Amino acid sequence: MTMQKRVVVTGLGAVTPIGNTVAELWESLRAGKSGLGPITLFDGSRLESRVAAEVKNFDPEAYLPPKTAKRMARFSQFAVVAAMEAWNDAKLEGACDLDRTGVVIGNGIGGNEVDCEAHEKLIQQGPRRIPAMTIPKMIINEAAGNISMTYGLRGRIHTVATACASGTDAIGVALDAVRSGRLDVVVTGGCESAVTEYAMGGFCSLKALSTQYNDQPTKASRPFDRDRDGFVMGEGAGILILESYEHAMARGAHIYAELAGYGATGDAYHLTAPQPDGSGAARAISLALTDGGMAPADVDYINAHGTSTAINDPTECRAIRLAFGTEADRLMVSSTKSMTGHCIGAAGGIEAIVCVKSIADSFVPPTINLETPGEDCDLDLVPNVGRETAVRAALSTSLGFGGHNAVVLFKQFVA
């Protein structure tokens, strides 16, 4: 039987509502800074929810040739720019076999703004007026494809679509690819840009978005709080470089943390709601721990899915209690969606970076806007102020529409 390879994190890249680099993201998280505000990407006056967590001051042509940038939808631009930061952070240029380097990216909705613009052309001017690049820009696999083409990566190029769990599942798929020896290096994570009238209108119809804080946008995302009333749409990308331990050591790479485990389950319960008792998510947590050869007592921090919706937050707390038992009260649990909003397919990538940084920098970011915990939200939820504390291991949990539960487990790297 072939021994599984150890997998380590050697590079990080981010484009988020609270910073367009990992350093900016982390500084904002440490400060408890909100990235939420009034919608500016389009006229949101027709929507019930007029708050979003938009990426700010992002100019793709500062990173990419203008012609190249114009051939990408916004979600692809985010992914490529974040991947460029991660690639440079890992110092991979000339340091890996391009045939054994792959890309696995999670995405939920794709180029929604491209789709909307093309549909308007179709209705107003007919099918002949649909722009030629509509399909190549909008389909969700193009983020992975564009990253591959940026660096000439010829290993496995894969896109994972499991709604809000997409980024986390992508990291899990990438873990398996490196562990098995199929690839030496994988560029992985998630991306999304769904701050559009169409996408947000659809979520409003589901009564999923916050509508009570349009005049106080920075307070709209309040995971686990009694007065939460829905999630806030975010956007961005979070990208990690995964390598086999042997590959990283052979080239003298800086190692942030080890990716130890992954667990994924299905609720088989409802299209949009999680299993109320949290059992599906609890199984995913337990599988990740078993996969990583770790016990509940070994984990110090969970970056929760924590969407700020009525159903998700107490369900997730129940799941953590089911999986961790008597260790649950010792855990620190926070939702950085209180600051970034819910970035859908990008959420898992961004929140995995948060877990890696929490281990590397010995800091747990807070859940802001947590004033009065809601019913069954009874864990240590790190309210409003982060903590300087050692983190031996951290879990990131993601729960997606359709009953997708995904969990990744990171731990301190020991040579």
- Catalytic annotation present for 342: yes
164 catalytic? Reply is: yes
- Does 305 qualify as catalytic in the annotation? yes
R_g (Cα) of the chain, nearest Å: 20
Catalytic choice (96, 158, 164, 377)? 164
Which residue among 342, 343, 377, 404 is the active-site one?
342
Which of 158, 247, 305, 404 is catalytic? The answer is 305
CB-hemisphere CA count at 13 Å for 271? Answer: 1
Catalytic residues: 164, 305, 342
